[in-house]
Structure 1
Amino acid sequence: MTEKQTDYGRFVVGEKMELFAEAVKLAVAAKAASTSDQFTWAFTGGSTPQAWYTWAAETGAIPADVMATTHFTVSDERCVPLSSDENNFGNAERKLLAPLGVPVEHRHPWPVAMDPVPAAAAYRETMALINGPQKAYDVCFLGMGDDAHTASFFPGSALLEDDGGELFAAIDTPQKGWRLTITPTGLRTCQLIVVMALGAGKAAALKRVFQGDDSLLDAPSKILETCGDRVVWLVDEAAAAELS
């Protein structure tokens, strides 16, 4: 693997399996360094995280004591039932948390059975009981879409301009409906943010974020510059191909 420091965080380029292992290493190190009474780790949605879940479950890559003592959630969520293949937490639970026997009381899905705004408020209360009101998560995994979105910050999102100082929010996104998500304020409270961007389909978006002239509203992953000192990007050669 190779790496360099950027305004958006540490940028690591490697092969898929190396990057999967590095993601675990980073999270486990963050837990070891944490002084929190409770430790929270938020996963994210998309095909790469699902492949990572399968790999982690099959290889036993995450130490058993970490799985047993960590509180798990997801950084953003679609307003669909937990049983849906489109539910981010549901996928994490089915592919990783349940197979590895994570205690049910350490699994924290967004309350998608509620309407979005009260669901965000209820989730905010749940996480405050675990972390206190000033921290979203200890470790936050994110992805990046080919439109340069991350979490549920899509191009033009009002959250990028004003999130009201909340750590979590419900947002009605154009063409995608309501989403539940960590906010920019919430990201800035996390101890560690790990962004996995793999495959040639991410190359143009990475170019826009790191070297393009796009505004924040046009390339939402640029929000990570506001907390770059705690961000690590895990990127394969195909995704990094357009960067100079």
Structure 2
Amino acid sequence: MINVYADPRELCLAAAELFTSQALTAISKRGDFRVALSGGSTPRQLYEELAKPFWRDRINWEKVLIFWGDERHVPAGDALSNQNMTRKALLDHIPIPAGNIFPIPFAESADAAARQYETTLHKLFPDLPVFDLVLLGLGEDGHTASLFPGNKVLKEQTRWVCSARPLSGGPERVTLTYPVINQAASICFLVTGSNKAGIVRQIMEGNGSAVSYPAQKISPVNGQLTWLLDQAAAACLESPK
């Protein structure tokens, strides 16, 4: 499902409604809401929106379990940390128990951090994790989470969490793998900006080449895939919804 909005603000409100409605549904049905968050500027705007009383007060945060889809291998307080951004934008402003938050750890190496996070997930999920919602962004190179083009993690079928090195440089990453992400009940891409328009079209409509972008392999096994785009990101689509 592809939904196009006039601007990032309108998209943010739609994402907040999606997050809230899915939280309420999951809590009503099973007793908790399990969500894997994303980093990036658009998710940050969503988190800031969710921290406002209108949304915050509709959710029983004691029943929300927070995870992350990926993280840079940096200390928790680092400016590049997805956890740090999320705490400042959302978690520090809502009544959520500390024990409900499961950040990707900073360890002696990215691989050690990945193995520690996988151990955490194994303790919480008896079988392959099924998140109620996974939020994802999209890079201009077609990556999502920290699943980068050409990285060996793209072929991983057994590990739940792996380390990954972006081709563009910068800190190593820790990321959930396809088997975990694609098991989610709902996966939602949040994409804004004209710089994403080209890759959005290539992923959505194809360009006749054999190139396969990491984001194209996001395909829920039994869940729903939703793309929320602003008009700038959808500008190159032949027939945006």
Report the TM-score when normalising by structure 1: 0.86
Q: 2:29 matched to 1:31?
A: no
Deviations 1:67-122 (A, max 9, x none): 23101121100001111111001110111011113211111110113422221121
Q: 2:60 matched to 1:69?
A: no
The aligned residue for residue 143 of structure 1 is: 137
| C-alpha separation in 2, matches of 1:66 and 1:22 | 20
The aligned residue for residue 182 of structure 2 is: 188
| C-alpha separation in 2, matches of 1:215 and 1:61 | 43
Moved more, 180-189 or 126-135: 126-135
Q: 2:150 matched to 1:156?
A: yes
| C-alpha separation in 1, matches of 2:139 and 2:90 | 23
SS of aligned partner of 2:65: strand
Q: 2:35 matched to 1:19?
A: no
SS of aligned partner of 1:124: helix
- The 8 Å contact of residues 186 and 220 in structure 2, kept in 1 or not, is answered as no
Report the TM-score when normalising by structure 2: 0.87
| C-alpha separation in 2, matches of 1:166 and 1:187 | 12
SS of aligned partner of 2:66: strand
> Relative to structure 1, is the Cα distance of residues 229 and 71 closer, same or farther in structure 2, using a 3 angstrom cutoff?
closer
CA shift, 1:56, in A, is 2.2
What is the count of residue pairs matched by the alignment? 233
Q: Residue type of the partner of 1:170?
A: S
Q: Name which of 174, 178, 202 aligns with 2:172.
A: 178
CA shift, 1:29, in A, is 3.0
- The 8 Å contact of residues 136 and 182 in structure 1, kept in 2 or not, is answered as no
> Relative to structure 1, is the Cα distance of residues 78 and 29 closer, same or farther in structure 2, using a 3 angstrom cutoff?
same
CA shift, 1:159, in A, is 2.1
Q: Residue type of the partner of 2:11?
A: L
Note the residue ranges of structure 1 that are not aligned, 5 or more in a row. 1-9
SS of aligned partner of 1:71: strand
Q: Matched residues, percent identical?
A: 26
Note the residue ranges of structure 2 that are not aligned, 5 or more in a row. none
Moved more, 66-75 or 186-195: 66-75
Alpha-carbon RMSD across the aligned residues, in angstroms, is 2.1
